[in-house]
């Protein structure tokens, strides 16, 4: 019977050893899986951080390009306004010179009446644009640009 008892003890010992080895193997696998999960979490966090950074950079670039477009458009409006203002002034100067030439070409006895008529016509027509009117026109254009830019 001692042989049977020793065989049972050996069998029990072998089973315990197998169970311990299996438990150890399961623990090692669990630790490996835990390390893999931790590594994936780190990769996911890095990816998320990178994506957020890229998103912020893209927003900044888009906003910057939008502002540059508005600045360029505003500069073009200013340039257009300057050309229009100069054209209006030159037109007024040319009309004034034409009137002076016409006065010089007419006989002396008709000049005072023509001069008076020309002065009255210039007062009524307001040939030269006022700088305040022009500034208001530019301000309205800029306001429209700002409204378009803001959506």
- Write the CB contacts of 114 (distance below 8 Å, at least 6 apart in sequence): 102, 103, 106
Query: Rounded CA gap, 85 and 134, in Å?
Result: 8
**What is the pLDDT, as a whole number, of residue 19?**
87
Greatest mean pLDDT among 33-37, 100-104, 122-126, 129-133 lies in 33-37
User: Is the confidence at residue 127, as pLDDT, over 50?
Assistant: no
pTM: 0.44
Sorting pLDDT into bands at 50, 70 and 90, what band is 92? confident
Q: Is 119 exposed, middle or buried (0-12, 13-18, 19+ CB in 10 A)?
A: exposed
- The total domain count for the chain is 1
Q: Which domain holds residue 46?
A: 2-150
Q: What is the mean pLDDT of the chain?
A: 80
């Amino acid at each position: 019977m001692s042989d049977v008892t020793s065989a049972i003890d050996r069998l029990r010992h072998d089973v315990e050893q197998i169970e311990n080895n299996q438990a150890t193997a399961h623990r090692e696998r669990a630790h490996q899986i835990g390390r893999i999960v931790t590594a994936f979490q780190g990769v996911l966090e890095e990816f998320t951080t990178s994506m957020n950074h890229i998103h912020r950079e893209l927003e900044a670039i888009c906003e910057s390009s939008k502002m540059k477009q508005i600045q360029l458009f505003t500069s073009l409006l200013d340039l257009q306004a300057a050309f229009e203002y100069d054209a209006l002034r030159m037109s007024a100067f040319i009309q004034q010179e034409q009137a002076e030439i016409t006065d010089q070409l007419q006989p002396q006895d008709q000049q005072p009446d023509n001069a008076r008529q020309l002065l009255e016509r210039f007062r009524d027509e307001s040939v030269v644009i006022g700088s305040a009117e022009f500034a208001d026109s530019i301000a309205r254009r800029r306001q429209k640009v700002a409204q378009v830019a803001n959506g």
